[in-house]
Amino acid sequence: MKLFDKVKCKGFYKPFKDGRWLYLDRETLTADAMDNNLADGNNDGTVEKNVEYIEKTYFKHVDKNFIGVIVGYKNIVIKGYLDAVYQDECDVGVGVIPEAFYVSKRAKETVKCAVVYYANNLKHYVPLEDLEALP
């Protein structure tokens, strides 16, 4: 399918906030897996202590029929990992970078999608297997 082709779509990927994140304790250099969905008056949302990474969901698939126009293609990350990374200080030639403790993203599942506009200024990310060309 080419750009600006009219297509019939069976579903799309919608952004999803799963509430999972990493809490970094810079004093002990540990990371805790947190989930906002589990937090209440008694629990702060801690899932597991002292983890190296957690799995996170960024998009979920929605089944819905609609018609639109392809305006581009994009690879989107459906699922991924959040890694707790500790880096000692190192000499890079220009200067010494101090130690760092940060969160890094890593892709687990990527899907090639078409960017489909179905109304004025409204778009969806449609996986290629959910597209059907219209005459």
**What tens digit of pLDDT does each residue of 46-64 get?**
888 999 999 999 999 999 9
pLDDT surpasses 80 at 82 = yes
**Domain coverage including residue 62:** 5-133
Q: What is the pLDDT of residue 44?
A: 76
Query: In angstroms, how far is the first alpha carbon of the chain from the final one?
Result: 12
Q: What average pLDDT does the segment 106-132 reach?
A: 96
Query: Which of 31, 2, 11, 1 minimizes the C-alpha distance to 104?
Result: 31
Q: Using alpha carbons, select from 49, 17, 14 the residue that is nearest to residue 36.
A: 17
* Domains: count for the chain: 1
pLDDT tens digit string along 4-40? 999 999 999 999 999 999 999 988 889 999 998 887 7
Q: Which two tokens stand for residue 13?
A: 């990927």
